[in-house]
Amino acid sequence: MRILTTAIPGCLQLVPEIRSDARGSFIKTFRTDLFQAHGMATEFAEEYHTHSLRNVLRGLHFQLPPHQHAKLVYCVHGAVQDVALDLRRGSPSYGHHLSLELSAANGHMLYLPAGLAHGFCTLGDSAIMQYKVTSAYAPQHDSGIRWDSAGIAWPLAAPLLSERDQHFATLAQFDSPFTYQEPA
């Protein structure tokens, strides 16, 4: 597995080796020693599976302190435009985002440290995403940024959004409780 740095400190793109033969394919999605060597979390509290139909956009989501979490996300069916938005005050990339395609075909994964908002939209008829998080869901700390307020070039002008996602604060309105810590 190759681990690539991104323009957002601590946010990493993981490019696994895909082994294919007449039976199908095999992808390793987690390796403790490799993750630890790159400063990634290796203890996850929950794992989620989402199935999204055409034109669905989910996000931009995160949990507030003290229940913030790191995430490992990947697409197991279809393809998505996946986005990470840096909300950590003092970060050299505060308010900036990273956008990349995650798909079942490319096997790429994205690791997001705590303090980043995450969202994605489907790029076809449907997509299935898996993500692991380092803290349990805490409804009172669940939050987000409006999908259309951070300068992200989404491929959809009028996405299908949840009621909750339609009413998040804009990036400009959000008073971030997250702070950036220089890597040791």
Q: Which residues are catalytic?
A: 61, 131
How far is the C-alpha of 37 from the C-alpha of 19, rounded, in Å? Answer: 24
Q: Per-residue DSSP letters for 33-101?
A: HHHHHTT-----SEEEEEEEETTBEEEEEEE-TTS---EEEEEEESEEEEEEEE--BT-TTTT-EEEEE
Residue 35: CB atoms within 10 Å: 18
Residue 148: CB atoms within 10 Å: 16
Contact residues for 181 (Cβ-Cβ < 8 A; gap 6+): none
Reduce the DSSP state of residue 12 to 3 states and report it.
Answer: strand
Which residues does residue 55 pair with via DSSP β-bridges, in sequence order? none
